[in-house]
């Protein structure tokens, strides 16, 4: 028989038992929808994590202090005060670095007239916007003069500006940070982000000012650097390590009292973890697709028994075993393919809704849809072969006598 005739016959048989067909497809629909939705959620999470890490800065390296060691008892990583502003200044001699930004943070109450908010105060220098990928919306950023003279000036993050009622016309006005008056010299463009930490909810002030008025220490929390090109990251890390070890007078066998965190390593790690999670979710969802395949096989076996006389008549008038095999196999594949198409549509809708609710948008690789459809067809073939073969090998005389 021609393929067109087989498809026509299959659709005719499925229409005569609409409820049975719908219930049989339901297992495939649920399975495919689950695979597409869960894989879509996993890919959306990966995309969100990658974009958030990328937004931290371009070719970013983060230098953190080591841990304290008191009589053999080690503190948490970053608990030592082994990095200074002078260390950051010395890194400017490395030609592979586009920017160097020492950072020291604290949390203070900020007041503007009748409005107030508690936010992060980042003590840093003029390279911070370059290193951390910010742009100034109004006014100007920090300057070398402001840092060297401990000026009480502030560059406001977009969210903090909104919370304090500051606008583009507020440049030059005064606010209170921790009880001290600061002049607003700039407002940053909104970077955006999701989660508990809002990258726009912060205020930048000269690091020397934070050390003088709030921390009372010469140490810095971290030094962030932007490497001029991605290809120079490994070289820059080696040069930074050598320079800081020399400045800290560390012996060749001594452990470094600092660590360097590579943004690319974070991206690779996050992508690997998210990829594994996506595969796990897809694998779990595939179980329901296999259950749907078993349902197809069960219904097709029942159909073979109910249509025994029909099979006998067709064989008696010249139908070959392979024609009967193809007929039942096409019916099974049609059920699984239709279920797969409906499941993909429902899965895409579910993935889009979850992405919009979670805040990472819709992200799905078209290959996932192709694989889900291919797998549904594969399930129809695998679980339809046995019932089709059972029908094909029926003896026509026995089939005609079947009541």
Question: CA-CA distance, 203 to 157, in Å (whole number)?
Answer: 6
Question: CA-CA distance, 109 to 121, in Å (whole number)?
Answer: 9
pTM for the structure as a whole: 0.63
What are the helix and strand counts (H, E) for the chain? 13, 12
Residue 1 has a pLDDT of 54
Residue 59 has a pLDDT of 82
Q: Angle, nearest 10°, between helix axes 3-16 and 18-54?
A: 110
Non-local (6+) Cβ contacts of 19 within 8 A are: none
Residue 207 has a pLDDT of 95
Backbone angles phi, psi at 334, to 5 degrees: -60, -45
Residue 374 has a pLDDT of 84
C-alpha angle with apex 240: 238 to 243, nearest 5 degrees? Answer: 105
Q: Could you tell me the mean pLDDT of each successive run of 10 residues in the chain, 403 residues long? A: 64 72 81 82 74 69 75 52 89 91 94 94 94 92 93 96 93 95 95 70 95 86 89 90 91 87 73 74 74 77 70 68 75 83 88 77 75 81 76 62 53
Boundaries of every domain in the chain: 3-52+270-401, 96-226
Residue 55 has a pLDDT of 63
Collapsed DSSP state (helix, strand, coil) of residue 221? coil
Alpha helices in 212-262 (DSSP H): 233-247
What separation in angstroms does the CA of 312 have from each of 6, 325, 397, 402?
18, 13, 7, 9
Q: Which of 188, 192, 240 minimizes the C-alpha distance to 59?
A: 240
Q: How long a stretch of residues is the chain?
A: 403
Residue 26 token pair: 């339901």
Residue 119 has a pLDDT of 95
User: Are 20 and 295 spatial neighbours (Cβ–Cβ below 8 Å)?
Assistant: no
Q: For residue 145, with 0-12 CB atoms within 10 Å meaning exposed, 13-18 middle and 19 or more buried, which class applies?
A: exposed
Residue 78 has a pLDDT of 52
């Amino acid at each position: 028989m021609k393929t067109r005739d087989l498809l026509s016959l299959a659709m005719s048989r499925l229409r005569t038992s609409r409820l049975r067909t719908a219930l049989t497809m339901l297992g495939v629909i649920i399975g495919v929808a689950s695979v597409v939705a869960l894989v879509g959620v996993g890919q959306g999470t990966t995309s969100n994590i990658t974009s958030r890490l990328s937004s931290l800065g371009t070719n970013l390296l983060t230098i953190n202090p080591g841990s304290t060691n008191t009589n053999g008892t080690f503190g948490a990583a970053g608990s030592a005060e082994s990095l200074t502003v002078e260390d950051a200044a010395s890194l400017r001699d490395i030609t592979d670095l586009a920017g160097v930004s020492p950072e020291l943070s604290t949390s203070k109450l900020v007041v503007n007239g009748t409005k107030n908010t508690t936010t992060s105060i980042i003590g840093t220098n003029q390279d911070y916007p370059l290193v951390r990928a910010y742009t100034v919306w109004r006014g100007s950023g920090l300057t070398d003069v402001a840092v060297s003279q401990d000026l009480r000036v502030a560059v406001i993050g977009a969210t903090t500006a909104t919370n304090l009622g500051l606008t583009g016309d507020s440049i030059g006005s005064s606010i209170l940070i921790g009880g001290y008056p600061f002049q607003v010299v700039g407002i940053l463009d909104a970077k955006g982000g999701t989660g508990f930490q809002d990258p726009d909810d912060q205020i930048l002030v000269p690091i020397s000012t934070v050390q003088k008025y709030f921390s009372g220490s010469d140490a810095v929390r971290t030094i962030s650097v932007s490497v001029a090109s991605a290809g120079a990251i490994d070289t820059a890390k080696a040069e930074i390590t050598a320079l800081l070890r020399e400045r800290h007078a560390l012996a060749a066998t001594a452990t470094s009292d600092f660590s360097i965190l590579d943004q690319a390593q974070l991206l690779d790690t996050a992508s690997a973890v998210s990829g594994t999670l996506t595969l796990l979710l897809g694998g779990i969802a595939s179980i329901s697709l296999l259950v749907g395949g078993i349902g197809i096989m069960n219904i097709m076996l029942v159909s073979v028994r109910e249509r025994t006389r029909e099979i006998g008549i067709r064989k008696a008038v010249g139908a070959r075993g392979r024609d009967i095999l193809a007929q039942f196999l096409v019916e099974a594949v049609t059920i699984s393919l239709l279920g797969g198409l409906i499941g993909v549509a429902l899965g895409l809708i579910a993935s889009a809704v979850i992405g919009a609710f979670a805040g990472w948008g819709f992200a799905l690789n078209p290959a996932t849809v192709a694989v889900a459809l291919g797998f549904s067809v594969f399930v129809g073939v695998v679980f339809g072969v046995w019932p089709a073969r059972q029908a094909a090998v029926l003896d026509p005389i026995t089939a005609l006598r079947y009541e």
